[in-house]
C-alpha cells in the first residue's frame, strides 16, 4: 500500500500539487479579456455569412451545449444542447440550400462524442437575444466525430461532410440522408477543407488523417464515391495532422502532433516550404492574410503569431491556463478557446500587435494578481477524466507513430 512517505508517491503528489498551483495562479490573469463559460470549450467557428457584423462566434462545449458568444456584450448565450456529451466540432451555413430554392436558410451543425450530428435551424435567429431553434439529430459515425464541412456539390446543392474517429468520411444532405461514404485506410479523419481555388463544377476536398497523410478528391456530379479517385497521399508530417487551412494564394497550412505547423506550397505539389517549430502538439492554425500573419495554437497553452513570408515568430499571446483547443478570426480580432473554459480575444491590428510585443517585454507577475474563483461547473469528475483520457490516448498514438517512423 502506497503512503505519502513513499518517494514515488511523494514525487507524483508534489508534481501534481505544483501543477495545480501553477494553473491557479495563471488562471488569475486577465489577458485577452477572458469570458468564462460553465463548461470546457472544444471548438469555435466564425461565419460572416451567418452574422455579417462579425460580432458572434459559435462555440462547441464539453457539456453538450452549442453557444453563441456575443463579442459586443462579452457573454455566452446557449441556443441548444446536442446531447449530454462533449461536442467536438461545429459548422454553420447561411444561404440557399440548392439552386432551385429561392429562400435563404441558416443552419448550425454540431457533432461529438455521441456519434451523432445535430442540426439547428437558426433561420431568422436574433443573435443578440436568441431563442431555442428547431433541431434534429441523426447518427453519423460509429465513433466520435472530429470534423464537419459544408460544401456545394456540382449539382448546386449544399452538402455536409463529416469525419470521425472511425476513419470514415461521410457526405450528407442537410436533412441527414447519407449520400456517400469514403473509407481510406486510416484510424481517423482529423479535418476537412474545401480547396478555395477549385471550381463550383469540380469542388476539390482535402482531408487529413490521424496517420499523417493528407488526401484530396473531387466531388463527383453523382456523388457516387465508388467512382471517386483519391489523390496520392501528401506526406509532409510525421504523425496526425489536426488542422488544414488555405491562404488566399491557395497554399495549404497544416497543424500537426509532430510539433510543427507547415506551409505546403501549391505550385510545388504541396511540398512544405515553411516549417514552424513548436515545443508541443500544434492543435489549430488560422491565416490572417491582410497582415501576412499565421497564428497557431499549441498544447503548451500559448498562441503564437508568425510572419507568413519569413516564418519569423513575432509574438506569443499568453493567458490560457489549459490547452488551447480552437482559433478563429472575427474582423481584426483573434478569438481563442480552451479547456480552461474561457474564450479570449487578441487584437491583430498592427498598432495593437506592436503594443502587445512591447508589453510582453515587461510582463506582470501572475503571483501579484488575485486568486481566481473557478466557479464553473463543467463536467463531472468521471466525465473530466474521460475527456482527458481521450485526449491522452490520441497523444499517445501520435507519439507512438512518430517513434515508429524514426526507426
pLDDT of residue 311: 97
Q: How far apart are the C-alpha atoms of 111 and 118, rounded to whole Å?
A: 7
Q: List helix spans (H) across 308-349.
A: none
pLDDT of residue 114: 94
* Residue in this structure with the C-alpha cell 471517386, named with its chain if needed: 228
pLDDT of 146 higher than 80: yes
Residue ranges of domains in the chain, CATH in brackets: 40-406 (2.130.10.10)
Cβ atoms of 274 and 240 closer than 8 Å: no
pLDDT of 6 higher than 60: no
As a three-state string, the secondary structure of 211-226 is CCEEEEEECCCCCCHH
Average pLDDT value for the chain: 86
SS3 category, 8:
helix
Express each pLDDT in 315-372 by its tens digit.
Answer: 999 999 999 999 999 989 999 999 999 999 999 999 999 999 988 887 653 334 443 4
Q: Which runs of E-coded beta strand occur in 140-238? A: 145-152, 158-164, 169-172, 178-182, 189-194, 204-209, 213-218, 234-235
Cβ atoms of 154 and 224 closer than 8 Å: no
Q: Which residues of 292-320 are buried (b: 16+ CB within 10 A; e: fewer)?
A: ebbbbbbbbbbbbbbebeebeebbebbbb
Beta-carbon contacts of 193 under 8 Å, excluding residues fewer than 6 positions away, are 149, 205, 206, 207, 244, 245, 246, 252
Amino acid at each position: 500500500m502506497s503512503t505519502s512517505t513513499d518517494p514515488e508517491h511523494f514525487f507524483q503528489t508534489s508534481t501534481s500539487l505544483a501543477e495545480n498551483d501553477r494553473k491557479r495562479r495563471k488562471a488569475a490573469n486577465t489577458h485577452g479579456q477572458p469570458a468564462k463559460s460553465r463548461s470546457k470549450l472544444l471548438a469555435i467557428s466564425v461565419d460572416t455569412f451567418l452574422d455579417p457584423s462579425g460580432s458572434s462566434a459559435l462555440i462547441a462545449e464539453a457539456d453538450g451545449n452549442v453557444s453563441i458568444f456575443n463579442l459586443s456584450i462579452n457573454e455566452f448565450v446557449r441556443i441548444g444542447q446536442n446531447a449530454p456529451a462533449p461536442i467536438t466540432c461545429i459548422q454553420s451555413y447561411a444561404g440557399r440550400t440548392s439552386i432551385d430554392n429561392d429562400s435563404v436558410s441558416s443552419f448550425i451543425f454540431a457533432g461529438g462524442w455521441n456519434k451523432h450530428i445535430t442540426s439547428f435551424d437558426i433561420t431568422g435567429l436574433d443573435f443578440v437575444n436568441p431563442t431555442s431553434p428547431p433541431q434534429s439529430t441523426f447518427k453519423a459515425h460509429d465513433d466520435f466525430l472530429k470534423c464537419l464541412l459544408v460544401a456545394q456539390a456540382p449539382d448546386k446543392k449544399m452538402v455536409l461532410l463529416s469525419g470521425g474517429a472511425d476513419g470514415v468520411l461521410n457526405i450528407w444532405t442537410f436533412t441527414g440522408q447519407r449520400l456517400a461514404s469514403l473509407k481510406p485506410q486510416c484510424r481517423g479523419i482529423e479535418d476537412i477543407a474545401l480547396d478555395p481555388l477549385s471550381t463550383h463544377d469540380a469542388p476539390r476536398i482535402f482531408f487529413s488523417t490521424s496517420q499523417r497523410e493528407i488526401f484530396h478528391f473531387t466531388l463527383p456530379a453523382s456523388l457516387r464515391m465508388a467512382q471517386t479517385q483519391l489523390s496520392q497521399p501528401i506526406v509532409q508530417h510525421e504523425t496526425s495532422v489536426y488542422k488544414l487551412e488555405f491562404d488566399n494564394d491557395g497554399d495549404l497550412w497544416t497543424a500537426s502532433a509532430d510539433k510543427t505547423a507547415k506551409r505546403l506550397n501549391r505550385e510545388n505539389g504541396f511540398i512544405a516550404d515553411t516549417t514552424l517549430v513548436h515545443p508541443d502538439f500544434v492543435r489549430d492554425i488560422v491565416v490572417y492574410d491582410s497582415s501576412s500573419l499565421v497564428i497557431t495554437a499549441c498544447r503548451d497553452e500559448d498562441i503564437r503569431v508568425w510572419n507568413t513570408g519569413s516564418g519569423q515568430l513575432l509574438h506569443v499571446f499568453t493567458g490560457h491556463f489549459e490547452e488551447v483547443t480552437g482559433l478563429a478570426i472575427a474582423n481584426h480580432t483573434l478569438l481563442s478557446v480552451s479547456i480552461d473554459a474561457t474564450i479570449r480575444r487578441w487584437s491583430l491590428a498592427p498598432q495593437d500587435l506592436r503594443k502587445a510585443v512591447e508589453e510582453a517585454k515587461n510582463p506582470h507577475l501572475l503571483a501579484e494578481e488575485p486568486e481566481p474563483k473557478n466557479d464553473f461547473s463543467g463536467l463531472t469528475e468521471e466525465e473530466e477524466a474521460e475527456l482527458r483520457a481521450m485526449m491522452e490516448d490520441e497523444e499517445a498514438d501520435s507519439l507512438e507513430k512518430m517513434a515508429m517512423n524514426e526507426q
